[in-house]
Copies of this chain bind each other. A is one copy, B any other.
Amino acid sequence: MQQLGRHILVEMYNCDKEILNNHKLIEGYMNEAAEKSGATIVQSVFHMFNPWGVSGAVIIQESHLTIHTWPEYGYAAIDLFTCGDSVDPWIGLDYLKTMLKSNKIEIKDIIRGETSKIRYFSNERFQNMHFKPINLEENND
């Protein structure tokens, strides 16, 4: 395995302003994007700002999705940070682009936890490196 996680940073332009300002819709789309990507949702937290804009995060067993919207500019900053081979964040991204009605996006696809660097910088020798185990601890309190 080359990396523990992959992190897709999306600049989404020319979105539907009404949708960007509806935190219930945005939360629904973000959760749906997580599920369509094959992720398992742990918790979803979304907030509406005054006078406009939505911020939220979907914590998934395979890391997270976040969004911040500026309805007044038709712009949203979206992150899809995932681990493991069973999740395909590009499916979720495609879904979000459609639902937010964007006609222009820009993407950065960034490696997180490059295993060769972890080995190089560490004082230990790691053998088989794996991404985060995906069993959620039952008792979080």
Interface positions of A (Cβ within 8 A of B): 4-5, 7, 9, 11, 13-14, 23, 42-43, 45-53, 55-57, 59, 61, 63-64, 66, 68, 70, 72-75, 77, 79, 81, 83, 104, 106, 108, 110, 112-114, 117-118, 121-124, 126, 129, 132-138, 140
Contact = CB atoms under 8 A, between A and B. Distances in A.
Contact of A136 (B49, B104, B138): B49
A75 B83 CA distance: 14
A59 B56 contact: yes
B49 A133 contact: yes
A43 B47 contact: yes
Scoring A57, A72, A75 by chain B CB atoms within 10 A of each residue's CB, the highest score goes to: A75
